[in-house]
Chains A and B, each alone.
Chain A
Amino acid sequence: MEEELEPEEQERFSYQQRLKAAVHYTVGRLCQEVAEDKEVQFSKQTIAAISEMTFRQCENFARDLEMFARHAKRSTINTEDVKLLARRSNSLLKYITEKNEELAQLNQERKAKKK
Chain B
Amino acid sequence: LFSCRNGMRQKNSNKDYFLSEEEFKLWNRLYRLRNSDKIKEITLPQVHFPSLQEEENGPIQNPATGIHQLSLTEWRVWQDRPFPTHQVDHSERCHHFVSVMQMIERMRHEEGECKYELEMKSYLQMEDVSSTFSSLGNGYSNP
Residue positions of A touching B, CB distance < 8 A: 14, 17-22, 24-26, 28-29, 43-45, 47-49, 51-53, 56-57, 59-60, 63, 88-92, 95
Contact = CB atoms under 8 A, between A and B. Distances in A.
A32 to B, nearest CB: 8
Interface string B70-92: 00000000000000000000001
- The contact size tier of chain B is 35 or more
Contacts of A91: 49, 52-56
B7 interface: no
Contact of B103 (A14, A49, A89, A90): A49
A62 to B, nearest CB: 11
A114 B65 CA distance: 64
A89 B125 contact: no
B47 A25 contact: no
Nearest 9 CB-CB pairings of A with B:
A44-B114, A48-B116, A22-B128, A21-B124, A21-B123, A56-B96, A17-B123, A45-B107, A21-B120
A19 B125 CA distance: 9
A63 to B, nearest CB: 7
Contacts of B68: none
Given A24-B117, A48-B107, A92-B49, A60 B93 contact: yes
Contact of A22 (B47, B99, B124): B124
B121 A21 contact: yes
Given A45-B110, A60-B93, A90-B56, A52 B100 contact: yes
Contact of A56 (B100, B117, B133, B140): B100
Contact of A14 (B110, B123, B130, B133): B123
A46 to B, nearest CB: 9
Given A17-B119, A44-B114, A56-B99, 15 more contacts: A17-B120, A18-B124, A20-B120, A21-B124, A25-B138, A45-B108, A45-B110, A47-B114, A48-B117, A52-B100, A52-B116, A53-B100, A89-B49, A91-B56, A92-B52
